[in-house]
Chains A and B, each alone.
Chain A
């Protein structure tokens, strides 16, 4: 069959014009590879933020107030002395509020004998467990009594527990946080790593009162979680809380809030906004990378076509039809596109996986960029590979041999 003969000639051409094949394949690899990696990073970042939200443990009836101005997790000011115990008491007195859980937070080294680990230590009230609805695997959470007496008791998340005690039973053991010894009274149930690699189990909890007197040596809070009586009351409660805090903090009407809210809606909105911005940037970068790849392919094809017009003329002298030439060059382009596509995909995947494995950047692999880049490079190959070949085939043999 004539078409198979042309296919064979195409494969030979690919093998013969190694430098062109290599460069064109490289162009496609660059396009597909970079697109794959970029999209994987974009998707990975989005996934990370989303599962971070779910790990925050918000119900529809709750929100958090964080000390310091700014937005969400991003504090604008370093001043975190804006949220006081008085504020919490005033919020608790609101009629629409069911619970307020004040929190202090300090990243500390926890030591047991020769083992130690750095973990987030939170000073909270016993209601924390109710609010988070987090079960215990062993022991018990601390009580109001522990709070009143500022007892040095600690509840460990599974990550520090494992690091410090291995197979041993931690309950009743004494661990040191900074200079202070605490007795382990409970173990939190393990939640496991989130998809993005955030570890919710890497935490320990002590009574807020103990935290104030022994750990942070100050009464200012890191944040407070507020649960309204009903989800429909959240908005009204947030407004009331704002009024209380602004009055307590003596803020003039023109001053910015010196605290900030974190709500599931707020995070969602932020994710949406930032993922839109991210997406726009990704689209831009991928377009550029594809264009670069495309221009590389285009130039090589245009140069190689000029070289190959003579070959086309020779073949035509000895009986090649126009369609034979078109077929041959079509097959060559397809072959290069497939070769580049496969290699680009493999390299893109490898880079994405390496980023994920070594925690360089979060990535998530999806099929769309492959399809897009594949289609794009094939189209480039076809347009810029076939079109000049067809044009050359349209010449008379005498003209192409000139």
Chain B
């Protein structure tokens, strides 16, 4: 069974009275444990696709089934729970709480869990160390560089051990050394079973994934296996495209 299933998804924005069709008839299945990268030119609709897969907004057409639940039929409260428990987001624009320390930003999703774990602080510290920010716990976003802020957002996305990690240009603001480290983290997470959907325009970054989707003008242009995907990197649910 697929973890993510998009059936003829369309998304139309109203802009200055005009309808802008950003996604057209997108159908797609992703199984648990897959490592997918989405590439495409700027404005192709990659970020929009991510907001739909992350339950941040509803599609204008089509049906989205996440982990067996039809997202359009679920209450807002239930959607909040799904976002909290199942999905981790890494945004292109970071979206950190301004003025709030790195560790508190990372712990924020735990506030909205049913129960805050007793070791919340240690967990937050651990994920920050994972992204090599153990020495920046009490810095606020304004006191951090773009790359450091990006790594805080990655730490935040991992705090709840999500099933799915949605990352929008996670290496866009990083130098190559940090970029490599982050990609290693993603690779490892995938090996541990996390489904990763990675938006990027960097071919090299895309090649970390097992499956590469190309989007153009709001449509899937190609859906290919990565021949170079190393067998050693394979996650538990490695399988072909249907």
A residues contacting B by CB (< 8 A) are 2, 5, 9, 12, 16, 310-311, 313-322, 324, 396-399, 401
Beta-carbon contact of A317 and B113 below 8 Å: no
Number of A-B residue pairs having CB atoms within 8 Å of each other in the complex = 66
Measured CA separation A2–B112 after assembly (Å): 7
Measured CA separation A317–B160 after assembly (Å): 13
Nearest residue, chain A, Cβ from B89: A317
Beta-carbon contact of A398 and B51 below 8 Å: yes
B93 cross-chain contacts in A, Cβ below 8 A: 401
B108 cross-chain contacts in A, Cβ below 8 A: 314-315, 318
Which of B57, B77, B112, B156 is in CB contact (< 8 Å) with A398?
B57
Check: B138 CB closer than 8 A to any chain A CB: no
Nearest residue, chain A, Cβ from B99: A16
Shortest beta-carbon distance, B182 to chain A, in Å?
20
Check: B121 CB closer than 8 A to any chain A CB: no
Write the B98-127 contact mask toward A (1 if CB under 8 angstroms, else 0): 111000000011011100100000000000
Q: List 28 A-B contacts (CB under 8 A).
A: A2-B112, A5-B111, A5-B116, A9-B111, A16-B99, A16-B100, A311-B97, A311-B98, A313-B95, A315-B97, A316-B80, A316-B83, A317-B95, A318-B83, A318-B89, A319-B80, A319-B109, A319-B113, A320-B80, A320-B111, A320-B112, A321-B76, A321-B77, A322-B80, A396-B56, A397-B51, A398-B56, A401-B95
Beta-carbon contact of B95 and A310 below 8 Å: yes
B51 cross-chain contacts in A, Cβ below 8 A: 397-398
Which of A16, A311, A313, A318 is in CB contact (< 8 Å) with B109?
A318
Check: B5 CB closer than 8 A to any chain A CB: no
Nearest residue, chain A, Cβ from B78: A321
B76 cross-chain contacts in A, Cβ below 8 A: 321-322
Majority secondary structure, A binding face:
helix
The 9 closest A-B pairs by CB, nearest first: A319-B84, A398-B57, A319-B112, A318-B109, A398-B56, A397-B56, A398-B51, A396-B57, A321-B80
Check: B169 CB closer than 8 A to any chain A CB: no
Beta-carbon contact of A397 and B57 below 8 Å: yes
In B182-230, the 8 Å CB interface with A consists of none
Check: B81 CB closer than 8 A to any chain A CB: yes
Check: B132 CB closer than 8 A to any chain A CB: no
In B53-104, the 8 Å CB interface with A consists of 54, 56-58, 76-77, 80-81, 83-85, 89, 91, 93, 95-100
Beta-carbon contact of B80 and A399 below 8 Å: no
Nearest residue, chain B, Cβ from A314: B95
Beta-carbon contact of B56 and A317 below 8 Å: yes
Measured CA separation A319–B113 after assembly (Å): 7
B98 cross-chain contacts in A, Cβ below 8 A: 311
Shortest beta-carbon distance, B48 to chain A, in Å?
9
Measured CA separation A397–B56 after assembly (Å): 5
Shortest beta-carbon distance, A395 to chain B, in Å?
9
Beta-carbon contact of A314 and B116 below 8 Å: no
In the complex, besides A2-B112, A310-B95, A322-B76, 17 extra interface pairs with C-beta distance below 8 angstroms are A311-B97, A311-B98, A313-B95, A316-B80, A317-B56, A317-B89, A317-B95, A318-B84, A318-B112, A319-B83, A320-B112, A321-B76, A321-B77, A322-B77, A396-B58, A397-B51, A401-B93
Measured CA separation A324–B95 after assembly (Å): 19
B113 cross-chain contacts in A, Cβ below 8 A: 319
Beta-carbon contact of B95 and A319 below 8 Å: no
Measured CA separation A317–B80 after assembly (Å): 8
A315 cross-chain contacts in B, Cβ below 8 A: 97, 108, 112
Measured CA separation A17–B111 after assembly (Å): 20
Measured CA separation A314–B96 after assembly (Å): 7
Write the B151-167 contact mask toward A (1 if CB under 8 angstroms, else 0): 00000100000000000
A401 cross-chain contacts in B, Cβ below 8 A: 56, 91, 93, 95
Beta-carbon contact of B81 and A399 below 8 Å: no
